[in-house]
A and B are shown apart, each in its own frame.
Chain A
Amino acid sequence: MSDPGVDTPAPSGGGQLPRRKGFGAETVFRTGTLAAGTLVLVIIVAITAFLINEAVPALRADTANFITETEWFPNQTPPVFGIAAIAWGTLVTSVIALVVAVPIALGIALYLSHYAHRRVATTFGFLIDLLAAVPSVVFGLWGFTVFIRPVRTFSIWLNDYFSWLPFFGGDGPFGRSFLLGGLVLAIMVLPIITSLSREVFLQTPVPDQEAALSLGATRWEMIRTSVLPYGRAGVIASIMLGLGRALGETIALALTLGFINEITFNIIENGGNSIAANIANGFGEAGEIGRGALIASGLVLFAITLVVNMAARVIIYRRREFTESAA
């Protein structure tokens, strides 16, 4: 018997079931999403090709070793420039940012997920997320007009008592330093690490937490035996994402670093430069070689961030496998 609502063309199967539609919303949707996905790939490839194309002539003209040279004078003749000092600055400021931000962020995240009253946690969590929405130029301006004062005082104090450590030596002036840049970055990555870690901690299965509590664990012991092991991979991934942000930050560092290209462990003396800040400050007055040189440095930064992001993905992916097998 045939369904009155469906056209039944010449039966190819048993002829009883409705035929598949040739063209419809499904096809449109599939094509649309495929196009969107492909577009992203095309854009990435196009950008990369353009950047490499711009960078290669500048790298050819470079009379120094691009990897090991610390100076950055691409506009003089002959051009002398290298990535070493600015890449160093990028790494140092990011490391300072993470060393400061990670313990604070994890403390806040645990407080919000396991200690604070629900209403407090919601309000506080909202404020943290708001911090992530502050434009980086605001952080930069605040850093070099306001925050620099306490940091300078602190730097002088560190220099007075700990100048025997390589990080805190030198004769000044202090202030526009790796320390200032790193601390501003720390404030900027804090909300990322906090809110992602909080999410992970909140997802800890209740039975896991009750297992610990029913054995007579205190709140902290419960966190140690069930929440932290469960959240470890997620926390690492959130740190990686924070690191990605710190590595790529431009304007805040352009405003807070002292612009001296050198590879130094001293983090309190005026000085320091980073890849992104160097691009922001140098692009306007750059000649043709200068532009290519900056683009080359941007490619290096791109590679560093790519590696960090890929590492984060790998960790997140491993975590997913782990939680699936445990369920």
Chain B
Amino acid sequence: MAKRVEATGVTAYYGSFKAIDDINLNVEPKSVTALIGPSGCGKSTFLRTINRMHEVLPGARVEGRLTVDDEDIYAKDVDVTAVRRMIGMVFQRPNPFPTMSIFDNVVAGLRLNGVRRKSVLQEAAEKALVSANLWDEVKDRLGKPGAGLSGGQQQRLCIARTIAVEPQVVLMDEPCSALDPISTLAIEDLMFKLKDSYTIIIVTHNMQQAARVSDRTAFFTIDRTGDPGRLVEYDTTQKMFSSPSEKKTEDYITGRFG
């Protein structure tokens, strides 16, 4: 249930603007990989190329090669919806479907896949909510609207919705930036648990968070405004935070970035 992600020469554009240039990165299965870097450095853009959400925006396109267990996800005849089912995504702001109940939110992905049997859906919903550490809090009100939960609960609901379809890879785009510290801790605990089953790639602005949760860290930056983002250094988190090889990485991590 976890696969290796390999990016080779990935370059992404918004219209004529080159947002990231020539990213080469291998992500190990069953690990947490953190993407860090200043705002606008292209780490979110890179994340969105991995499940082909980048191309949703008008004029956006991707060059290079991205494989998941040697399967080229940008091959011409690949069904993009299948790619997104295999590679789930959790967004910056919790975005449960506002008109749906908690239960309907969790099983939304399964319903899209054509699962209709009530018993199957119930089982999957419970399993996903338990995995997302949310079951005990919502088991008595599964029929209530998902939008009525607290921010942290909503984000865990979104994680449950993502893992309910049993993806191979889970992408998280600053999943804690809209949450309070306690909810953030809950999500971080959850990431530890989830990496037993999933390959997790997380974008974060929070350096402590990257140090706490990730096995490997990739540092992105831009040289000047308007330049494309590039990958500066990619190594084990321990090495990156104790003795990075690049001066730029060290400056950023120690807060001397400028």
Contact = CB atoms under 8 A, between A and B. Distances in A.
A, B co-complexed: yes
A117 B93 CA distance: 28
B58 A215 contact: no
A229 B56 contact: no
B109 A215 contact: yes
Interface in A203-217: 205, 207-208, 210-217
Contact of A213 (B56, B96, B147): B56
A216 B113 CA distance: 8
Interface residues of A, number: 22
Contacts of A81: none
B88 interface: yes
Interface in A198-248: 205, 207-208, 210-218, 221, 225-226, 229-230
Contacts of A326: 98, 147
Q: Is the interface of A mostly helix, strand, loop or mixed?
A: helix
A248 B147 CA distance: 40
Interface string B207-224: 000000000000000000
A216 B109 contact: yes
B82 interface: yes
A214 B112 contact: no
Contacts of A118: 58
Interface residues of B, number: 28
Nearest to B87: A214
Interface string A287-327: 00000000000000000000000000000000000010110
B161 interface: yes
B97 A211 contact: yes
Contacts of A218: 81
A210 B91 contact: yes
A211 B112 contact: no
Interface in A80-134: 117-118
Interface in B90-148: 91, 93, 95-100, 108-109, 112-113, 147
B112 A216 contact: yes
B205 interface: no
A221 B79 CA distance: 15
A41 B227 CA distance: 60
Contact of B53 (A117, A208, A214): A214
Interface-central residue, B85, B93, B99, B100, by most chain A CB under 10 Å: B99
Interface-central residue, A118, A214, A217, A225, by most chain B CB under 10 Å: A214
A262 to B, nearest CB: 45
Interface string A19-58: 0000000000000000000000000000000000000000
B160 to A, nearest CB: 12
B84 A214 contact: yes
Given A216-B82, A216-B85, A325-B147, A211 B91 contact: yes
Given A118-B58, A325-B147, A217 B81 contact: yes
A213 B53 CA distance: 8
Contacts of B82: 216
Interface string B71-93: 00000000001111100110101
B97 A210 contact: no
Contacts of A212: 97, 108, 112
B93 A226 contact: no
A30 to B, nearest CB: 38
Contacts of B158: 211
B147 A214 contact: no
A214 B89 contact: yes
B85 A215 contact: yes
Given A214-B89, A217-B112, A225-B108, A230 B98 contact: yes
Contacts of B97: 208, 211-212, 225-226, 229
A216 to B, nearest CB: 3
Given A207-B95, A215-B165, A221 B112 contact: yes
A313 to B, nearest CB: 21
B51 interface: yes
A213 B108 CA distance: 11
A227 to B, nearest CB: 11
Contacts of B91: 207, 210-211, 214
A216 B79 CA distance: 10
A205 to B, nearest CB: 8
A215 B161 contact: yes
Contacts of B84: 213-216
Interface string A174-192: 0000000000000000000
21 contacts: A210-B53, A211-B91, A211-B95, A211-B96, A211-B97, A212-B97, A212-B112, A213-B53, A214-B88, A214-B89, A214-B162, A215-B84, A215-B85, A215-B109, A215-B165, A216-B84, A217-B112, A225-B112, A229-B99, A323-B98, A326-B98
| For the complex of A and B, 8 pairs with smallest distance between CB atoms | A216-B85, A207-B95, A215-B109, A326-B98, A229-B99, A214-B89, A216-B84, A216-B81
